[in-house]
Amino acid sequence: MSMFDGDTPQEKRHRNARTEASAAVWRIVQDDARNHGADPATWTEKRIIPGFTWGENTPLPEHQFAAARALTKAARLQEYEAIRHARGRGTSWEQIAGWLGTDFTEAADNAGRSLRVATWMYALAGTWPGEDFPYDRWVYEPRLDWPCYTCGARIHERLPENGVKLDQPEHTADCARHAADRAAEQDRWDELDDADDLPTNPIPDVARPPFAPALRLATPTTEEPTP
């Protein structure tokens, strides 16, 4: 019986990820060495632990760090792409928030932020609820780009707080998904209306400050994701 037999699926996944990341760091370091015409042996060291007769080859710390940093960015990009794909096929922000776990939901509660807004911010910037969102929304009007798999339109999703009609205006007029989202949203607003005697649309029209011509965020790849 292996010592890992009692692992949960999540523990197994984390262990697999550590194994894969470790192997990937090695490959990147060796590839770096080859690309620089260097002897891979000079990029590694035999780490000798005092008192032990064995040692292990390991990348020199600066090379190990550089490879790990590149992997961190690449992994973050995978998250971003997964979220864009999920939005395209109709996965709700609340469902995506569920992937981030109960810690995320609690942090959103504590920050007084709706799950959809908190998760949209995480998608764009990798920020946890309560952390500073690094984009000035009035200056840059950050948007999450994804293709709607129902109507084929390219959506530039604004901060999801004003309703799907305003936040995702690019859907085609006959997009079934957009119609269903709007109907579900109207139901939620009607319920709020009944429950709390709020105005039909709980988000009042606010005068938005003028902002500079929107600089759309294509992808976060050129920016360092928040560690």
Residues that bind Zn ion (CB under 5 A): 148, 150-151, 171, 175, 178
Which residue in this structure is represented by tokens 């060796």? 30
Of the pair 158, 171, the CB lying nearest Zn ion is at 171
CA dihedral 20, 25, 31, 37 (to 10 degrees): -160
Count of residues for the chain? 227
Question: Alpha-carbon distance 175 to 160, whole Å?
Answer: 18
Residue 149 Cβ vs Zn ion, minimum distance, rounded to whole Å: 8
* 144 vs 96: CA distance, rounded Å: 14
Q: What does the block give as tokens for 175?
A: 């997009």
Q: Give the CB-side neighbour count of residue 31, counting CA atoms within 13 A.
A: 8
Minimum CB–partner distance for residue 177 and Zn ion (Å): 5
CB nearer to Zn ion: give 123 or 175.
175
**Least distance from Zn ion to the Cβ atom of residue 151, Å:** 3
Residue 2 in tokens? 């292996």
- What is the closest distance, in whole angstroms, from the C-beta atom of residue 156 to Zn ion in the complex? 12
Among residues 98 and 147, whose Cβ is nearest to Zn ion? Answer: 147
Report how far residue 152's alpha carbon sits from residue 41's, in angstroms, rounded to the nearest whole number.
51
Of the pair 16, 162, the CB lying nearest Zn ion is at 162
Nearer to Zn ion, 79 or 145 (CB): 145
- Rounded to a whole number of angstroms, the minimum distance from the CB of residue 213 to Zn ion is 26
